[in-house]
Amino acid sequence: MNVMKFEFNYKGSFKEIDVRTEKLNVIIAKGQADIVVVKGEILMTEEVNYGMGDDKLVQEDREEMRLAIHSDDFEDDLESRDVDLENSKLIIMIPDGMKVRVESEMGKIRFEDVQTEAEIDSELGSITLDSVSGNVKIESEIGSVEVRKGDFQNFFCSTEIGNIDIKEIKAHRIKCDTEVGQINIKEAEVSDVTISSETGNIEYQLLPIKQNQTKINSEIGKVKLIIPHEMNVDLKATSEIGTVSSFLKNIITNQIDDGVILKSEIINSETGNAVISVSTEIGTIVLVNEDTMPEEEKQQFENNKFNKEFNKAMNEMSKVTKVLASPALRKSIGGAFANLGEVIKNSVQNALKEADVTIKESMKDMKADMQKQRQDMKSDNMRNRQDRAYSDRKTGFRAEERLSDNEKSRLKILDLLEQGKINHEEAEKLLKAINK
């Protein structure tokens, strides 16, 4: 495999950069002050004889201090050649502080070691952030998102189909949501957290912070929340269908109809405060400290069947994409693959969404049954309380069953006297007759 390399340098205080690709992998990395470097590594099976100029890729706008890097025409130009765009790279090195927008149809996107304000939009492909700081907004249709060692003011991430995996971050605000996929956020020092999933597990681990507010919601899936020992916690956890299990230490637990309310037993203002709301429609909630997670719970969460099957589906999708989008196959079939990316994306998207709908539909009857059972239990409890209250008011009747025949007769006479059915003289005669 031959590699075609190119490099273009742009000096000046550019404030913004706009990148758009079809299948090229994009890497945004830290560069020097006031210089933007655009590099390319294009894999070609044939000998490299391509005349590469920056006019095929880059447009400068000095007045707006903006660079636009659009590879659409460039990639189309390479379609007739044996080019492996799947493993080719477009590397862009930028100064800290630049605003970056990246839009990709079927390529991977990676940011590393940069301070930026970034907007990332991907149709089909993974997104990775490593040692990134600033403000980030991610929207992905199909593909996983992985973040490591981030320091953000605001971090927003939304996927239609794809896992979100975040570790070792600091942030003022995080908002993550997915329609189908698992969300893992570990070692997170964050003030304001919102996490939601329609179908998929959620795992969130807080680090000690002065003030934390967290809202977690899952429609179908298990939620695991890991809380530091030293934090003061005010927590409400509810599940419509499922259980809420707490393995937290030094926490006062109050049971409510569909979950629990928890508060720290010892209040220490120096260790930080967390106000947390966790809810699921169908799925269990597990609340733990780092060292209190039972081994069976840990295994059950890590080996969740849905997560395994979902990851398998994503891996298979990646394999199919590589095979069908190979240059040799495209070249042999020609125009039939013009809309391949859209076909694959739509097929996978529809299949997984249909699976999601099937899961939800199959849960409806169970959910209705469980809700009816819960309502019946509430009604039974109410009737039992009413029966006990009624019995308490009628203790004389209950006691009467344990009395002798003479005592029962005596009580009956007194009842008749109280009701006015006999007078005092008649009652006295009857009582004397019993005592004989």
Q: Is the pLDDT of residue 341 over 60?
A: no
Write down the pLDDT at residue 330.
47
Write down the pLDDT at residue 402.
43
Name which of 63-77, 79-93, 304-318 the model is least confident about: 304-318
Q: Is the pLDDT of residue 130 over 90?
A: yes
Q: Are 156 and 137 in contact (CB under 8 A)?
A: yes
Structure-token pair, residue 208: 């000690």
β 202-206/211-220 pair status: unpaired
Q: Is the pLDDT of residue 324 over 50?
A: no
DSSP notation for 243-309: -EEEE-SSEEEEEETTEEEEEESS--GGG-EEEEEEEEEES-EEEE-TT---HHHHHHHHT-HHHHH
Strand partners, 122: 104, 140
pLDDT digits (tens, 9 = 90+) for 38-82: 999 988 877 777 778 888 899 988 888 999 999 988 888 877 777
DSSP notation for 375-406: HHHHHHHHHHHHHHHHHHHTHHHHHHTTS-HH
pLDDT digits (tens, 9 = 90+) for 230-244: 788 889 999 888 888
Structure-token pair, residue 119: 């907007």
> Residue 84: what are its φ and ψ, rounded to 5°?
-95, 80
Of 144, 107, 105, 119, nearest in space to 25 by CA: 107
DSSP type of residue 144: -
Between residues 180 and 350, which one has the greater pLDDT? 180
CA distance 81 to 103: 24
Q: Where are the domains of the chain?
A: 201-294, 306-380, 395-435
Of 202, 159, 220, nearest in space to 360 by CA: 220
HSE of 38, CA atoms in CB hemisphere, 13 A: 20
Write down the pLDDT at residue 400.
39
Write down the pLDDT at residue 337.
45
Quick one: average pLDDT of 159-167? 94
Quick one: average pLDDT of 158-183? 94
Q: What is the mean pLDDT of the chain?
A: 78
Write down the pLDDT at residue 269.
54
Q: Are 130 and 111 in contact (CB under 8 A)?
A: yes
Write down the pLDDT at residue 12.
84
Please report which helix (H) or strand (E) contains residue 313, including its range.
Answer: helix 305-324
pLDDT band at 394; cut points 50, 70, 90: very low
Q: Is the pLDDT of residue 137 over 60?
A: yes
Q: Is the pLDDT of residue 157 over 50?
A: yes
Of 198, 108, 190, nearest in space to 152 by CA: 190
pLDDT digits (tens, 9 = 90+) for 189-206: 999 999 999 988 999 999
Please report which helix (H) or strand (E) contains residue 346, including its range.
Answer: helix 340-393
Hunting for tokens 């971090």 — which residue is that?
Answer: 155
Q: Please provide the distance, in angstroms rounded to a whole number, between the alpha carbons at the two ends of the chain.
A: 120
CA distance 325 to 340: 7
Q: Are 136 and 156 in contact (CB under 8 A)?
A: yes
Q: Hey, what amino acid is at 421? A: K
Burial 303-325 (b: 16+ CB within 10 A, else e): ebebbeebeebbeebbeebeeeb
Q: Is the pLDDT of residue 175 over 60?
A: yes
